[in-house]
């Protein structure tokens, strides 16, 4: 079997409402569907989510990276040799999301060749994964209402609250969410680098009474001294996300003591590098949680399959229902959160089928 072509199809699906974070505002999903074709007719699927204000990648750059560099490097190769193909493309710096989506597509293809789900090929078992709802960064009562609805509709009991708008409003938002979901629910916060280290210490000290589980990216990754000082002054573990887009970055964060948890995003590091991140964190006694890069149901299915394969990851809540803000979906077999969990598919690969009519409707052809 050989790779004959790699498609990079940009598409846009509107959100139900704007997504606000300290680092930017999003009105729609501007993603790229990646499909790896073979001479035997089998096709592997992956998804890249562009976040230009975080990673410097756009739809146009992802499409260009795949068409100009990644596809030529892999044409004629054996798609089952994922480790070899990872090395073949490792020379391409940055472009993490393009490479990550391609790696997922190759792993999906392995599943279709063997007739096995990706979680099994990765050495795991079928596990239900607890879902974290990412709440809007709006007024305190708005965030609390969204949390209540997630509990009532889907049984969700883990929540990530966006912060970084100001100490008083941030603390008020946390207090309102805690009151809405009760003492047993898991709550952590994400500042998206929106605080200075000194502000983060004040804010997290003020929030301590609300039982926060983690703080994600409290201050800029470039502030090495500030992040280390923060880790020493607050009793809440710091989780690295944008500050650890690669294995080398993650090693720096953990070994320096700046972070004690990693956000694993398969759309950013694929399955191959994500597995190495889990091993690194395990060796250093750090936690690993599934993070969303605003994934649609395609990216979420991949994240779910990966998380199910690793007991360390599956024991933690994961950001697995970001798709609830999408107005539509490209898959024919939609994911549904029930009793606060998602269960991975038993279908081959990551377990999704694309609705070609919807893809035709939402794709854009100016790339």
Query: Cα(259)–Cα(244) distance, rounded to whole angstroms?
Result: 10
Question: DSSP states of 174-236 as a string?
Answer: HHHHHHHH-TTSEEEEE-TT-S-HHHHHHHHHHHGGG---EEE--S-TT-HHHHHHHHHH-SS
Query: Cα(102)–Cα(270) distance, rounded to whole angstroms?
Result: 7
Query: Cα(263)–Cα(194) distance, rounded to whole angstroms?
Result: 17
For the sheet with 24-38, list strands across it. 3-21, 24-38, 43-49
CB 297 within 8 A of CB 45: no
CB 244 within 8 A of CB 259: yes
Two structure tokens written together for 347: 């279908």
CB 129 within 8 A of CB 320: yes
Two structure tokens written together for 97: 């999301």
CA neighbor of 319 nearest in space, from 338, 336, 335, 295: 295
Which residues are known catalytic residues?
Answer: 162, 190, 216, 241, 265, 293
């Amino acid at each position: 079997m050989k790779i004959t072509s790699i498609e990079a199809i940009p598409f846009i699906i509107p959100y139900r409402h704007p997504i606000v974070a300290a680092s930017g505002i999003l009105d729609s999903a501007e993603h790229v569907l990646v499909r790896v074709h073979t001479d035997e007719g089998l096709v592997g699927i992956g998804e890249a989510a562009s976040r230009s204000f975080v990673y410097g990648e756009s739809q146009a750059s992802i499409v260009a990276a795949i068409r100009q560099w990644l596809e030529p490097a892999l044409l004629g190769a054996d798609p089952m040799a994922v480790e070899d193909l990872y090395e073949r493309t490792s020379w391409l710096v940055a472009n993490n999301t393009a490479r990550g989506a391609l790696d997922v597509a190759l792993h999906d293809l392995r599943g279709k060749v063997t007739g096995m789900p990706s979680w099994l090929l990765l050495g795991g078992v079928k596990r239900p994964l607890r879902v974290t709802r990412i709440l809007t960064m709006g007024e305190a009562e708005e965030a609390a209402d969204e949390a209540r609805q997630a509990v009532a509709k889907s049984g969700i009991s883990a929540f990530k609250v966006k912060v970084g708008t100001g100490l008083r409003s941030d603390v008020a938002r946390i207090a309102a969410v805690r009151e809405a979901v009760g003492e047993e629910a898991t709550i952590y916060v994400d500042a998206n680098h929106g605080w200075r280290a000194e502000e983060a210490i004040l804010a997290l000290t003020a929030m301590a009474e609300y039982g926060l589980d983690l703080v994600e990216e409290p201050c800029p990754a470039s502030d090495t001294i500030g992040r280390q000082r923060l880790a020493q002054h607050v009793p809440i573990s710091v989780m690295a996300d944008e500050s650890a887009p690669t294995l080398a970055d993650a090693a720096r964060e953990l070994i320096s003591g700046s972070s004690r948890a990693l956000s694993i995003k398969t759309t950013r590091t694929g399955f191959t590098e994500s597995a190495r991140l889990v091993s690194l964190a395990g060796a250093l006694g750090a936690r690993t949680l599934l993070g969303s890069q605003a994934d649609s149901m395609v990216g979420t299915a991949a994240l779910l399959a990966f998380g199910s394969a690793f007991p360390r990851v599956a024991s933690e809540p994961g950001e697995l229902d970001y798709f609830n803000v999408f107005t539509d979906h490209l898959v024919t077999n939609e994911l549904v959160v029930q009793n606060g969990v998602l269960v991975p598919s038993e279908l081959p690969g990551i377990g999704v089928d694309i609705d070609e009519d919807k893809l035709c409707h939402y794709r854009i052809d100016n790339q």
